[in-house]
Amino acid sequence: LSHPNILPFLGYSNSLSQTALCGIPALICPWMRNGSLSQYLEENPDQIDKLFMLLQIANGLEYLHKNDIVLGDIRAGNILVSEDGTPCITDFGLSRLLKESGLTTSSAVAGSLRWMAPELLQNEKVTNASDIWAFGMMIIVSLHPSTWLSVVSY
């Protein structure tokens, strides 16, 4: 995969896998100094063209879908921002590794419930449509973050 809004995959390491990652290889990617999109928006609230950033993320998502890759967990925490401010989608490989290995992680599910399409809460399979739902949720929260801080349920 090669797209400006997809975090490049540089390689993997098995040296961490025996202890920290339960046998799953550690994926190696470039360091993203600006952290996640949620951190970046919080630290630079008035200095970012949010609509342009969201458009770039949509372009990356479209690229993945055209290559038959469904993320299943798109959210601001899974978008990393490069030093020049380019948003890059990440963590799409980890979901596939966990699914194929039969392992699960409660933290990934709990952290993503607000972003999940309703059908995923009924154990449906992730699809392009469920990614679009999650992207829509990310748009809402990115454009109006303080509105959602006190919301407990929908």
Active site residues: 73
As a whole number of angstroms, the distance between CA 137 and CA 75 comes to 8
Closest CA relative to residue 53, chosen from 72, 32, 25, 76: 76
As a whole number of angstroms, the distance between CA 75 and CA 151 comes to 17
As a whole number of angstroms, the distance between CA 23 and CA 149 comes to 36
Residue 117 tokens read as 């399409």
Q: Which amino acid is at 103?
A: L
Residue with tokens 């829509």: 136
DSSP conformation letters of 78-127: GEEE-TTS-EEE--HHHHHHHHHHT---HHHHHHHGGGS-GGGGGTPPP-
